[in-house]
Amino acid sequence: MRTHAERWIADDPDPATRAELNALLRHADLSKTDLADRFSAALEFGTAGLRGVLGAGPNRMNRAVVARATWGLASTILARVPRAAERVLVVGGDARRMSRELSEDVAAIAAASGLRVMLFGGPVPTPLVGFTVKKLGAAAGVVITASHNPPEYSGYKVYWENAVQILPPVDAHIAEAIQRAPAAREIFRPSLESLRAAGRVVDAPPDLETEYVAAIRSLAVHPDEGDRRISIVYTPLHGVGDRLVHQALARAGFVSVTSVPDQKDPDCAFPTVAFPNPEEPGAMDRALTLASRMGADLVLANDPDADRLAVAVPRPHEGGPWPLSGRAPDEGAVGRYVRLTGNEVGALLGHYLLTERPRTRPRAVVASIVSSPLLGRMAAELDATYDETLTGFKWIAHRALELERAGIEFLFGFEEAIGYCIGDVVHDKDGISAALLVAELTAVLRSRGRTLATELEAIARRWGLFTSAQVSVTRKGASGAAAIRSMMTALRAAPPLRIGDDEVVAVADYETSSRRDCRSGRRSALTLPSSDVLSFELASGGRVVARPSGTEPKAKFYFDVREPVGVGEPVARAAARAHASIDRLPTAFQAMISL
C-alpha cells in the first residue's frame, strides 16, 4: 500500500492531496489509517458516472481521478459523437467543496483534447446544465455534483448528446478509454485564460437562466389560474436552488415565497442538517418550523443540486393523523405539517397532467419499477400509455425520448425517491420545474375550495389507497454478498405462492426478461434491459419488489399495498387498514427468505 501511495503522489497534480497522502504515510501504524480503503479499489465509471468521498487515492474523488476521467470522456466523445469538435461540451457544478476546481479541470482538459467547452462560471442547479445540453444540441455535458449525498462527497455526472444521462454501452466505452489515459500529471491542462483567449472555452451566458425559467413556465397547465397569494416556505438545504426557484415562482405570479434564512445560501458544510437530503428525518425541520410560525400553505425543499423535490402540507386537522396513511404527527411545530411521499407527489402531478392538460395527441406517463403502481392504474382509465423502467432516472428519460419519437407526448415521469420530470424541457429529474407545478396545483385547488390532501383523498376513492414501504438488509463482506445472491437464486427457483395473506398472481423476473402469470402459467416478455430484480404482483393490487444494491452488499425490498375505499367510507378508515397491511407485508416476506 505504501508503494501504491508513493506512486500516486508522484503522479498527482494536486499539492493538497499529495500532502494529504504524505501525512497518512507518516502515521506510525498504517493499518490504523484508511490507506487500504483508498487503494484497495478504484472508483468505477458507470451509468451514474463517478461518485465518492473527496480525498487522495484512486478510490476517492479528486483532481487526479477527474483528470483521467475527463481524458477518457473527451476521447470517447470525439470518437463516437458526430461533429463533436464543432459542437460544445457543457460543464457546470454545484456548490460543494472542490466543485469549482473540478469543473475548471474538466473544462481545461476537454478543451485541450479538441472539444469546445461552455463553462458555467458559478454554482448552478443540475437541471440547468441538462437544459443547456438539450437547447444547444451539445456533444455532451458534465456536472460536478454529489446531489443529496453527505458533505464529504463529490460526483461526476455525464449527459450524452441526447441530453440524457449516459446508458450502456456508452459507459463501458468511456471506462475503457479511462483505462488508456496517461497518468494524471501527464494530462495537458492549459490555463483557462489561454483557452478563453483561443476561443476553446466560453463562459455560459446569463440569459440561459432566463430561457430555462421561461421554458419551465411553459409547462404550466393553467398558467394564469388559481390563488397565487398562497404562502410558500422554501429551502434549498444550503444548495444552489434558491435564486432560480424564486425567479420561477415570481414569474408565475406567486407573491409570498419565503426561504429559510439560514439555509438559503450555498454552504458546502451543510451546517444545519445532518444529511442534506430532504427525504431524511429532520432535514426539513427548520422549514416546517418556519412554516408553522407563518401559517404557510405549502412547504417546498430541493436537495443541494435542485434535481429532487420534497413537499409538505398542513395537516387537515392539527394534531391529528394524516388521513391517507394513519401517520402520527411529529412533536411541536413540525408536527403541524406532513411530508408527502415521493409516490404521493407523483400521483398528484400525474393526475393533474392527465386530467387537466389539453390533449393534442396520444400521451404517456412513466415510472420506475419500484415506484407506486397507482400511476399505472390512473393512466389505464384515463386513456394514456403507462410504461415502467428500471431504477435510475436515465431510464425514464431514455424511454421519454423513445415515446416522443413515436409521436406520443411524454407528459410525466417519476421515481419514488422524490424525482420528477415534466414534459421535455429537461431530459432528467428537475426539482425546480416540479416545485413550480406543485405550487400551481396548490393554487388552482385553493381557488376551487380544495387542497392537496383532499385531492389525494379523491384519488384514493377512485383508484384505491396505495401505501408504500421500503426495507434494506445489509450483509457485510464477501459472505454477505454471497448470501444476497443465494437469496435471489432461491426466490427465482421457488417463487412464493402467497406472501402473508395475499396471493401472488404474477412474477416478473427482470434478469430473464419474462413475466409469468401464476394462475394461467402463461409467460410474456419484458422489454426492459436485463437486471437482477424480481417483482411479485399480489391479488390485492399490491406488489413486492426485491433487488440487490448495485454498489454495496445490501438487498432492497419495496412493498406496495392497495386498499379499496368503500362508498361513503372515511378515507382514514381505509388508510388504517392499509397501514396495518404495510406493517405486516415486510414481516411476512422477510420471514420467507433466508437472508
The catalytic residues are 147
With beta carbons less than 8 A apart as the criterion, state whether 440 and 252 touch.
yes
SS3 223: coil
Which stretches does DSSP call E strand in 434-497? Answer: 465-474
Distance CA 563, CA 457 (A): 12
Q: Position of cell 454529489?
A: 146
Dump strand ranges (E) for 390-474: 409-415, 419-422, 465-474
Task: Show Cβ contacts of residue 586 under 8 Å, excluding neighbours closer than 6 positions.
Answer: 469, 471, 557, 559
The H-or-E segment that residue 1 falls in is none
Residue 431 DSSP SS3: helix
In contact, 368 and 342? CB cutoff 8 Å: no
Q: Are strands 498-499 and 502-509 parallel, antiparallel or unpaired?
A: antiparallel
Rounded Cα distance between 8 and 4, Å, is 6
**CB distance 297 to 444 below 8 Å:** no
Place of cell 445560501: 265
Cis peptide upstream of residue 323 (ω within 30 degrees of 0): no
Please, are residues 337 and 470 in contact by the beta-carbon 8 Å criterion?
no
Cα dihedral 73, 76, 80, 86, rounded to 10, equals 60
Beta carbons of 519 and 531 less than 8 angstroms apart: no
Contact 192, 108 (CB under 8 A): yes
* SS3 readout for 113-166: CCCEEEECCCCCCHHHHHHHHHHHCCCEEEEECCCCCCCCEEEEEEECCCCCEC
How remote is the C-alpha of 474 from its chain's centroid?
A: 22
Longest dimension (CA), the chain: 74
User: How many Å apart are CA 391 and CA 415, to the nearest integer?
Assistant: 8
Q: Which of 81, 83, 52 is nearest to 69 (CA)?
A: 52
